[in-house]
Structure 1
Amino acid sequence: MNTSPDPLTLKLSLREKCAYGMGDVGSNLMLSIGTLYLLKFYTDELGLPAFYGGVIFLVAKFFTAFTDMLTGVLLDSRRTIGPKGKFRPFILYASIPVALVATAQFMTNGFELPVKTAVATVLFMLFGLFYSLMNCSYGAMVPAITKNPNERAQLAAWRQGGATVGLLICTVGFMPIQAMFNASSSLGYLMAAMLFVTGGLCCIWWCYSGVKERYVEVMPAHHKPSILKSFCAIFRNPPLLVLCIANLCTLAAFNIKLAIQVYYTQYVLNDIHLLSWMGFFSMGCILVGVLLVPTVVKRFGKKQVYLGGLILWAVGDVLNFFWGSSSLMFVLFSCMAFFGTAFVNSLNWALVPDTVEYGEWKTGIRAEGSVYTGYTFSRKISAALAGFLPGIMLTQIGYIPHIAQSEATLLGLRQLIFLWPCSLAIIAAVTMGLFYKLNEQRFAFIIEELGKRKKHLSPEPEMKKENKASAVTL
């Protein structure tokens, strides 16, 4: 008699959930310093035009979109799984070059403008390459940790909580540390970066040592992973495709907001130190939202909570555009918008593992790496656009560093930080509301069907017929 616990009801320990969340604390300590401050470092310290900064983001992020795909191929190609597991070794070994390159990006040099631009681009591309190996493995690991959908939602909440803590620490702490080096602001950037990546490494290693891969599955020998198949994993998986489109909008909106807020607080509100306070309160609201995710998802379902978060986000941005010209109102409405983003960003990660089972149910092939990196491909394209657009728009609205900005430039900053993200959030809400069909009931049915298939091994042709018939009904 089989006495092994039911994978759908197996509970994870609090210690393991905490360890998993620490992985995104570490990832975001190393990533967010670039998301928040690298463009400003380029324009104000390295002396690059804002347009050049935007192009660097565009080129490097497009490059890392494909490195994400290569990571998926590498993960799915593994046939021999050692005691460290299928995903955990990449988390451990790639974290060191991520930390080194993240620090090197904040080093100034006396090269000519073309050489400066080339060096900055190469460093950003290297960061993206190693970050893909580390972070894609971290995200793709969830289906190997648990099959329980509620536990996956909790892991997603812990992950988003970790990401929020990392982002909060960077938002609140980076500029005060940088400002301690008044004699050399460029040295301040470098020292702050070194401090944050060191903390990031410790968190990543905590994650590596604290999580366990329970359901590691090796892809059949006849299935050869490739970048083309990673793209096919998106287009043959309707829930994943819809999620990619929605995520393309939400991540671009979120990153644009983060990149522009340092300019907004300095030139529109005339108080760059407000950034730390705003980060403290708004990221605190995200953390509260993340803690609520498991409860509200259990009651209302993932899709409904996702849409509710997008509505809060859009309303907060609209209110900020019209009435956020004072520091108090800016912080208040930003808290509302960021509270909404907590549900959206958390559920992005909770929904992806569900599409892994959908893809296995439909095609008969389980490919965590291809599904996850197909999804992260859309995130990197989104991040490329989010990095490119602020650089281009700063040039278009007439931004010049270290001077008082014109009224037209100030209006442009307000549009960039509020109206663009609001519009993208609305597009994401419409996309998810109309086209995402993988609800909790259908997911439970899929898991049950997969369990039956594995117990009663059906002939390959019959399985394909069943897949085709099932795909019509979903």
Structure 2
Amino acid sequence: MVTARLKPANKKLKKFNEIESPKLKFKEKLAYGFGDLGNGLMFDMGQIYLLLFYTDILGIPSAVGGLVFLVAKFFDAFVDTGVGTLVDNQKNFSKRGKFRPFILYGSVPLEILTVLIFISPDISETGKIIWAFGTYLLLNAAYSVVNIPYGSLSASMTINADDRTQLSVFRNLGSQGAMFISGIVIIPLVSLFPNHAIGYPIAVGILAIAGVTLHMLCYKGVKERHTIERPQVKGLRRKAFFNLLKNRPFIILAIYTLLTITALFLQQGAQLYYYKNVLGFDNLIGIVSTLNFIVLMPALFLTTFLSKKVGKKMTAVIGVSGFIIFQIVNFSLFSEQIVLFLIFNTIAQLFLVIPNTVTWAFIADVVEYGQWQSGLRSEGIIYASYSFTRKISQGLAGFIPGMALTIIGYVPNAAQTPDTIFGLKILFFVVPAVICLVAVILFFIAYPLTDQKHKQIVKELALREEL
């Protein structure tokens, strides 16, 4: 009888210890980061190079190429929700875990589709348009099958706040590393081939193979410790969605992310116009990308330091606030002085890395909040809904610059008027700063989940034996 009583108590004590003390080793956090590095070496190829491939190699109109991306975002809304529901509703999952098998079995189809979107078949223009839509929609579906379980994985790996921040750091390092690698490797590889229609699929295929290898390292290197089989009850999916709408931390986080990611991608979309027409340097993007990558590691270390000192919420607030300050200073004083612009822009980007990193740790926290509030754990639905929020941000960030360029009177390949130059400055500096200001005020006032409150929640879940 004594043993029967002690077992649950010891189990709860073990969970309490994990809540208080970090558990994950460096190699497991590194393996988790490999997952997003692998994601980036496949899916990011489409984000960076595909529109250029569509217009210059495949030979379809640019408007149609843009429509492919727009349709894909709406398509993702249904795919992401379906995958999230599938992940949450699993029963009798194997020793491999609840999330890891999706990485294992989904990686190779994602690799194949990554290459297929860069193949230019010798068919009619209508056939090429159908090919572009079909292959890119399938790529997005394959990416959701891998990425949503991958994003949900961190909540099952650890319930410790510091561990989760570290996982976010390694994930962002993997993501930024993929952007850097693809940015410096693809074009030189493609240029080795006189026929770029051959060069693109080969170059992309090389990185996609590396991506699969990294996915396998992630699969082998991480461990699920807190996976729960959802009870099979009629109407559970509907209940999960209604619970999501009642999850205040998730709603605030989703709005905050919608705003900050829109600001980030909006600035990225406007930067080429700003560099060319205001600073007079078409190729400045290479220098800016290199400087941003150089400050990535200091930014990630700063994220970890601040998170331990002031908690994740205030870390995000400090990061966004720093970005706003340096954006406004750069706009007011150095918008046409290239050296000082580069210095202040790099510092602003360093601050912006901080909230983009710590955000992934918030997702794992709101999973437990929702479970504590409703008794239902829904990692897949929560991450799928959050993923869709980020995709809406990408769509808005593509739409806003296009409309703004028309409003300010931008004329391609021509000398711009002073009003247009000023408009480009507003678009690059002020609009992202104002969007971020709204985001940080909302988040500071309305986001209720501090690290201390989250710690209390997971202790209660442990007492209820729901972890």
Q: 1:307 aligns with which of 298, 317, 338?
A: 317
Work out the percentage of aligned pairs sharing the same amino acid: 34
Question: Would the alpha carbon gap of residues 111 and 421 (structure 1) be closer, same or farther in structure 2, given more than 3 Å must change?
Answer: farther
- Taking a change above 3 Å as real, the CA distance of residues 326 and 99 of structure 1, as seen in their structure-2 partners, is farther
Alpha-carbon separation, structure 1, partners of 2:225 and 2:242: 27
| Aligned counterparts of 2:147 and 2:280: Cα–Cα separation in 1 | 36
Distance in 1 (alpha carbons) for counterparts of 2:81 and 2:127: 29
Query: 1:245 maps to which residue?
Result: 255
Residues 150 and 308 of structure 1: CA distance in aligned 2, closer, same or farther (over 3 Å): same
Q: Which residue does the alignment assign to 1:443? A: 454
Give the structure 1 partner of residue 291 of structure 2. Answer: 281
CA distance change for structure 1 residues 267 and 199 in 2, over 3 Å: closer, same or farther?
farther
Contact 1:320-1:330 at 8 Å conserved across structures: yes
Name 2:371's counterpart in structure 1: 360
Report the alpha carbon displacement of residue 386 of structure 1 after superposing the two structures with TM. 2.7
Distance 1:224 1:280, change over 3 A: farther
In the other structure, the counterpart of 2:227 is 216
Per-residue deviation at 1:326?
A: 5.1
Match status 1:385 vs 2:396 = yes
| Cα shift readout 1:23-50 (whole Å, capped 9, x = no counterpart) | 1111122233333333444455555555
What is the rounded CA distance, in whole Å, between the counterparts of 1:319 and 1:39 in structure 2?
A: 34
Give 1:292's aligned amino acid: L
The equivalent of 1:236 in structure 2 is 246
**1:125 and 2:137 are equivalent in the alignment:** yes
Answer whether contact 1:54 1:392 (CA < 8 A) is retained.
Answer: no
Q: Is the 8 A contact 1:179 1:185 kept in 2?
A: yes
* Residues 25-104 of structure 1: pairs in structure 2 closer than 5 A: 25-46=37-58, 50-104=62-116
Residue 387 to residue 233, structure 1, CA distance change in 2 (3 Å): farther
> 1:361 Cα shift?
0.9
The yes-or-no answer on 1:14 pairing with 2:16 is: no
Task: Supply the AA of the counterpart residue of 2:252.
Answer: V
Q: TM-score, normalised by structure 2?
A: 0.86
Query: Partners of 1:398 and 1:46 in 2: how far apart?
Result: 31
Q: 1:391 to 1:115 in 2, by over 3 A?
A: farther
Residue 350 (structure 2) aligned to one of 339, 342, 359: 339
Q: Given that residues 323 and 351 in structure 2 are in contact (C-alpha distance below 8 angstroms), is that contact kept between their aligned partners in structure 1? A: yes
Indicate the SS of the match to 2:448.
coil
Number of aligned residue pairs: 453
> Which sections of structure 2, spanning at least 5 residues, go unmatched?
1-5
**TM-score w.r.t. structure 1 length?**
0.85
Which letter does structure 1 place at the counterpart of 2:289?
G
TM-superposed CA distance for 1:350, in Å, is 0.6
Residues 1:324 and 1:125: Cα distance change in structure 2 (over 3 Å): farther
Aligned to 2:3: none
Please identify, of 162-171 and 82-91, the stretch whose mean Cα deviation from structure 2 is larger: 162-171
Asked whether the 8 Å contact 2:36–2:171 carries over to 1, the reply is yes
For residue 295 of structure 1, report the CA deviation from its aligned partner.
1.7
Give the C-alpha shift of residue 344 in structure 1. 1.0
Match of 2:165 in 1: 153
Q: How does 1:196-211 map to 2 (within 5 A)?
A: 196-211=207-222
Does the 8 Å contact 2:299/2:353 carry over to 1? yes
In 2, are the aligned partners of 1:318 and 1:419 still within 8 Å (CA)?
yes
User: Cα–Cα, structure 1 residues 418 and 28, in superposed 2: closer, same or farther, change >3 Å?
Assistant: farther
C-alpha distance in structure 2 between counterparts of 1:397 and 1:106, whole Å:
35
Alignment partners' CA distance in 2, 1:198 and 1:267: 39
Unaligned runs of 5+ in 1: 456-474
- In structure 2, relative to structure 1, the CA distance for the partners of 1:50 and 1:382 (3 Å cut) is same
Matched ranges for 1:313-332 at <5 A: 313-321=323-331, 323-325=334-336, 327-332=338-343
User: Structure 1 residues 225 and 360, CA, compared in 2 at 3 Å: closer, same or farther?
Assistant: same
Of 76-85 and 190-199, more deviation after overlay is shown by: 190-199
Paired residues for 1:138-149 under 5 Å:
138-149=150-161
Check conservation: 2:243, 2:374, Cα contact below 8 A. no
What are the superposed Cα offsets for residues 211-248 of structure 1, whole Å, 9 maximum, x if unpaired?
0111111011226553x455424311000000001111
The within-5 A match list for 1:366-381 is: 366-381=377-392
Report the Cα distance in structure 1 between the residues aligned to 2:197 and 2:281, rounded to whole angstroms.
20
Pick closer, same or farther for the CA change 1:289–1:406 going to 2, 3 Å: same
Deviation at 1:385, TM superposition (A): 2.4
Specify the code of the residue in structure 2 equivalent to 1:422. Answer: A
Closer, same or farther: CA 33–246 of 1 in aligned 2, 3 Å: same
Q: CA RMSD in A?
A: 3.0
